Amino acid sequence: MIIVKKSKYLKYKNFKLRCSLGKAGIKKKEKEGDNVTPRGIFKIICVYYRSDRIKQIITPLKKIKIKRTMGWCDDPKSNFYNKEIKLPNKFNFEKFYRKDNLYDIIVPLNYNKNPIIKNKGSAIFIHIADNNYKRTAGCIGVKKNNLIKLLSIIKKNTKVKIG
């Protein structure tokens, strides 16, 4: 199990990494946009990656190459709320194909998935942290080389415990 603590460290077996968390810290997530990293135990859905920037990811998880038309809906008005969507789209979304490197690797967690409850929160990812470990909108940020290493050593059924 990957363990994420409010001390802004992520642990998996003997592997301990600094990470960034949501601006509001680890708490029970109340609603979309509250900047909370949700407390709980979550499954990893898959790994999205930019094949033009990341040449190879070795992981037992399902891998999906990011295309320019990919995003994640964070708009509670949409029937595709908290799901991958095709862009352009009339609803609010997180764009996967970005100029910065934060979404070169995206590891979505199954937060608010079964069932999806509108406005409870969406797009909880493990992704690449910026150079200063700037706080996120609720995701977990890890340095690129550490995330690549972590993905190579976890198991297909590894869960993420936050808090």
Supply the CATH number for residue 48's domain. 2.40.440.10
Residue type at position 39: R
Parent domain of 84: 2-162
Q: How far is C-alpha 55 from the geometric centre of its chain's CA atoms?
A: 20
For residue 15, the model assigns a pLDDT of 93
- How do residues 108-163 score in pLDDT, each as one tens digit? 999 999 999 999 999 999 999 999 999 999 999 999 999 999 999 999 999 999 99
- pLDDT computed for residue 101 by the predictor: 97
Strand ranges across the sheet with 105-108 = 63-65, 47-49, 105-108, 125-128, 140-142
For the chain, what is the domain count? 1
How confident is the model over 6-51, as pLDDT tens digits? Answer: 999 999 999 999 999 999 999 999 999 999 999 999 999 999 999 9
